[in-house]
Each structure stands twice: as C-alpha cells, then as structure tokens.
Structure 1
Amino acid sequence: MSNPSSPASSLQVIAIGNAIVDVMAPCADALIERLGLVRGGMTLVDTDRAQELYDAMGPAREISGGSAANTLAGLAALGSSCAFIGQVAQDQMGEVFAHDIRAGGISFETPARAGDPPTARCLIFVTPDGQRTMNTYLGASQFLPPAALDEAAIAAAQVLYLEGYLWDPEEPRSAMRRAIAAARNAGRKVAFTLSDAFVIARHGDDFRSLIEAGEIDILFANHIELAALTGQDDFHAGIDALKSKVPMLVVTRSEHGAVAACGGELFEVRAEPVEQVIDTTGAGDLFAAGFLHGHVQGRPPAECLEIGAICAAEIISHYGARPEANLKDLIDARFG
C-alpha cells in the first residue's frame, strides 16, 4: 500500500471503499419522474439499467468518485497522508480512477482486476436545485478480496475509514471485517460512514452489532441515516440512543449544520453560507474529510465540525465531489 519513500507508519487515514467513476449530467425534474428514479437517493442498478440511464443522460462529465475516495481526496487536499484500498478493472475507467486518485497525492496500490465486470460507475442526475440522484453500477468494485488488504498499512495508520456502501457485496464485506480486526488489534481507530438508508435497511443489524461490540470509534451519519439506524424519528432521541455506544458520533443535517456527541458533550456547528448550491454530490464525504483532518491533528470536536462544514460548503458550490478551491487556504483563513 505504501511506497518505500512514504512508510506506512506515516499514514494518517487509510480507507476502504468503492472505486467508482462518477458520470454526472444536469437534468430537468421531469426526467427524474420519467425514468422512475428515486429523487435525491442512491439506487444500485444492473448492467442493462446502467446502459438505459446512460443513454438518457445529456452531456456528461466523468469524474473519479466513490464515497471514501472522495473523503480521501479532501483529506489529501488538506495535507493529511492517505491511502485507498478499492477494486477497479483493467479498463479505461479503471485507469482514469487510478490516475485521478494518485494525482491527488493518495497512495493506491490495489491491483486492477482482469476481465468482466468493468470498473464501477455512478450515473448522477443533477436537478436545477442542486440535488443529486445517484444510480450506481458496482461492477468490479464489489469483488474486492480480503487478499487485497495491506494489513501492515492498516495497522500503522491512525484511522481506518470504512464506507458503508461497500458493506453490501459479500466479498468486500469480508475484507472490511478483516480490516477492522487488523486495526483494532493494533490499537488504531475505526471510523465508519453509514452511507445511505438503503444500506441500513439491508445491513442495519450488522452495523448495530459492530456498534454494540465497541468496534466503531467514529460513526458518521446524516439525520436520515440516524433515524433508520436507531428507529427514532426525533433527531435528538436518535442522538441519545447512540451517543453512549460510540466514542464519537457525528451527524450532519444538510442546511441545518451538524452535531458531534463525544465524552458526554454535544457540539454543534451551523452550515457555512453558500452563494449558490450547484450540486450536493459529495457534501457528506467532504464533511467527513474535514472532520477527520481535524481529528488526526488533535483538534477539539468543535473545530473538527467547523472544518467539516467549510469543506462541505466548498463542494456544493460546484459540480463534482472533488474539491476545486484550495481547502488549506480556506481552513487557514478561518483558523490561521
């Protein structure tokens, strides 16, 4: 995972997630209805549906994505040392993904997979209000084997960050369980993002078991996922149901900001003002990047929340889930 000039021990965050290329296009609200899409959500699609949706898209941009990879892109842009574990195929999109993530300063050494299926892609329809409707073809990403793990790098990194989306396929789920064991055996922290309510509907029992067993140190969720996991529609009741079970609970609330529950205290941050919301793709991913960057630097929870909010605001001000502004400059302008 690491190269000789960058020893594994220098890693701050190592993440396991879907290696996906985002294919993004603006669309009218009517197209969402005509295609029968779940507005604002993420739906898994098969090969035929992926082709149907791609054919229906207008002019599109291809941008390397994937939730955990987006988070690492933000972390690297902020100056954290990172590595990514994820599966691509030996095809053009796989080469695009690998080039993009390495160009961002992130170590990526997972060997590409020969043959079908092709590299994963997420077909994203962006409506005029900036809302994104995602349709994900998982392709090669769902065949990440446990053998692809660099357990020495996982044991050396400060934080192992896991993407809930990748819990769905059996092979990478097994790899992630093995990675959790490697991190915990080395006394490292495990951070987990719930990703989407549909993942919780399928694997909530697994997630609740991990939490009850004390295997999650930092849990990221949005308010919808919090309700799905706890069964509590009231936001604060959901916080109360989880705050004693994870050392750090971080919950985002879109335009209402975010909260963190830690050490018996509740910290809150307002959403950063944005001149215009262009595209909400990756807002949660970049919030997690800012929060984790602050965390590995040893900053207090309130500052971690604020850094997360700044990063999320930057990402929703343009198309795509990778930062375009200099995140370091934005943080330095606030904190010096």
Structure 2
Amino acid sequence: MNTSNTGKRIALIGECMIELQHRADGSLQQSFGGDTLNTAVYLARELGEGACVDYVTALGDDSFSDAMCQSWAEEGIGLGMVQRLPGRLPGLYCIQTDAKGERRFLYWRNEAAVRDCFTTPAAEPILAALPAYDVLYFSGITLAVLGELGRKKLIETLIEARQRGAWIVFDNNYRPRLWASVEQAQAAYRQVLAYVDLALLTVDDELALFGYDDSAAVFAAYPDTAEVVLKRGAEACLIRCGGESFEVPAQRVEKVVDTTAAGDSFSAAYLACRLRGGSPEQAAEAGHRLASRVIQVPGALIPRA
C-alpha cells in the first residue's frame, strides 16, 4: 500500500451510540461514543486535512442523531455515508467506572438503526461506493450489530475493495452480549479474517473468544494477515509485520481515570502513523502516547485541546 496520506479516503464502519457517564454523585453526563466512531474521531484529528475520513452507519431522524452528525462534522468526519432511517433511534450505553478506572458497560441497543445499515435500499449506493476507498476499517462490534445478512454484504464489499487495492483494517473488539453464542461469533470472525491486512487485536478479547493460551497462539491464528498488532493494556504491545516481530513498551500513567476508548485511540494513532509512512514501531509508540492521554480523562473522547 502507498502510505502517503495525501488524498487518502478512509471509511470506518460501525455504530455510534448515546453515551451516559455515571458520575460518583449519581449524575449522568451525556455524550456520544462507539468503538469505530471513537477511532474515526481520533484518526481525523491525527491526520488533519490530509485525508478524508468518512463514517459508515445508520441513525434515526431524531434530535440525538442530529446532534451526532453535527459533532462528527465538527471533527472533520464526512457524513455522506450515514443513513438516516425515519422513525428509528440510535443505541444507548452507560459507563460505570470503579476506583481503579476500570469500566463496566450497560447497553440498550437491540432496536438501533445500525442493525439495518446494509439491508435497506438506501444502502445499495453506499455498498457500491465503499470498494473505491483506500482503507476500510471495521471491528468485531461492527460484525455483531450488522447481523448475518449485513455481514454477508460486508464480506462481499471487502473482497471487491481488496481487489482494487484497498487496505482492510480490523479491530477485534469482542462483546459476548452482542452474540447469540460464542460459536456464532467465532464463525463470523473467521469468515472475515481472510480479507484483513492489518489486525489490531486486544489480547483479552482474543483469549475470551477463542481461548488461546498465550500471545504466540494468537499470532499463529493469523497466518495470512500481513500485519498483526496485539494490544495488552499497560503492558508492551506485540507486533508481527513483514516476517519480523517487535515489542513496544506502553507509556506509564500515574493515575488512570477511565480506560474507555484506550484501544480505539491506540488503533487510530497507529493507523494514522502507518498511513503517514511510519514504521510499525513508530506507529505503536504513537498509539501508546495517545492512549495514555485518553485514559486520564473521563469518557471516550477527550477534548481536542
């Protein structure tokens, strides 16, 4: 892949939800978030005006959906691939954090508009346009919320995009509650892995989904993926690329406030660095730097300043 980010077109596919942050005093702070949306925002910030970052999703025609689109536009994210479905609503989730900054999520999303993102008549021109992008980015959560038919259409799109030279990027984000069974999730993940060029994996998710014994087993499960990054929280991340292996230490943080979007922000900075021509080691260092800032602020998206 040509790694100059000038004029690059990047599409991130997934779900954004209404986010409620549960404060210690019992109050709720409302914002928006979702794994691929978080990555889209941080990626747009990292790349600036040198690239086109579009978000691919479906929302309702309500005021929350209006506010989402406005906030994305303010971040420089393109809205041309966002469907607005009459009478529908976005999903909602609440973040609860403990004294160590570890988070627990509560979700209300079963009827979210994104469930029909790739199955409406309005989705056809979007699906037709996606293979022309330089980079397509999606996650395990994307796979879950799209449903069986949506996943089938996604795979068809990935195949055509790769034939045109696109770079396919996958973040494994596994959420058991979104799947009918672990076997269903395993089958869906394995279906798409053959079409992934860069896999951004969280070790805990890989262990939970596939039961791998160690990091070596995780890497062995991705024999045909050109670049594999294994994120391990506060530990060093592990990278396999071009027949070589690397270990890049994480940045130490004295006080963790909220780990929400730590992995999403790491992925954004890593991808941005690679698109600018940086090495895997440089990309991992950039990922750790951004993630270390994100986990010191409540919520998924930190202020731009």
Give TM-score, length-normalised by structure 2: 0.86
Matches within 5 A, 1:1-336: 10-27=7-24, 58-79=26-47, 80-109=51-80, 110-116=82-88, 118-138=89-109, 139-146=112-119, 147-148=122-123, 150-151=126-127, 153-169=129-145, 170=147, 171-196=149-174, 198=176, 201=182, 202-211=184-193, 214-239=194-219, 241-326=220-305
Whole-angstrom CA distance in 1 between matches of 2:21 and 2:192: 34
Normalized per residue, which structure has more helix?
1
Deviation at 1:309, TM superposition (A): 0.7
Identity rate, percent: 25
SS where residue 45 of structure 2 aligns?
Answer: helix
Whole-angstrom CA distance in 2 between matches of 1:78 and 1:195: 22
Deviation at 1:325, TM superposition (A): 4.9
* RMSD, aligned CA: 2.2
The CA deviation string for residues 114-142 of structure 1, in whole angstroms up to 9 with x for no partner, is 114x2111111122211111122222221
Whole-angstrom CA distance in 2 between matches of 1:290 and 1:206: 27
Whole-angstrom CA distance in 2 between matches of 1:308 and 1:175: 31
Whole-angstrom CA distance in 2 between matches of 1:188 and 1:283: 26
Q: Is the 8 A contact 1:74 1:323 kept in 2?
A: no
Distance 1:144 1:158, change over 3 A: same
> Is there any run of 5+ residues in structure 1 with no aligned partner, and where?
1-8, 29-57, 327-336
Deviation at 1:275, TM superposition (A): 3.0
Whole-angstrom CA distance in 1 between matches of 2:85 and 2:96: 28
Whole-angstrom CA distance in 2 between matches of 1:175 and 1:87: 15
Runs of 4 or more above 3 Å deviation: 228-231
- AA aligned opposite 2:276: Q
Deviation at 1:300, TM superposition (A): 0.8
Q: Is the 8 A contact 1:226 1:251 kept in 2?
A: no
Whole-angstrom CA distance in 1 between matches of 2:153 and 2:223: 28
The CA deviation string for residues 96-115 of structure 1, in whole angstroms up to 9 with x for no partner, is 21111111000012131111
Q: Is the 8 A contact 2:174 2:209 kept in 1?
A: no
Whole-angstrom CA distance in 1 between matches of 2:33 and 2:242: 34
Q: Is the 8 A contact 2:12 2:36 kept in 1?
A: yes
Q: Is the 8 A contact 1:13 1:161 kept in 2?
A: yes
Deviation at 1:283, TM superposition (A): 0.5
Distance 1:325 1:299, change over 3 A: same
Aligned residues: 285
Distance 1:276 1:124, change over 3 A: same
Deviation at 1:172, TM superposition (A): 3.5
Q: Is the 8 A contact 2:33 2:300 kept in 1?
A: yes
Whole-angstrom CA distance in 1 between matches of 2:116 and 2:127: 18
Give TM-score, length-normalised by structure 1: 0.78
Normalized per residue, which structure has more strand?
2
Deviation at 1:152, TM superposition (A): 6.0
SS where residue 36 of structure 2 aligns?
Answer: helix
The CA deviation string for residues 153-190 of structure 1, in whole angstroms up to 9 with x for no partner, is 53333210012112124254244224313312311111
Deviation at 1:228, TM superposition (A): 3.8
Whole-angstrom CA distance in 1 between matches of 2:153 and 2:59: 15
Distance 1:182 1:151, change over 3 A: farther
Q: Is the 8 A contact 1:257 1:309 kept in 2?
A: no
> Is there any run of 5+ residues in structure 2 with no aligned partner, and where?
1-5
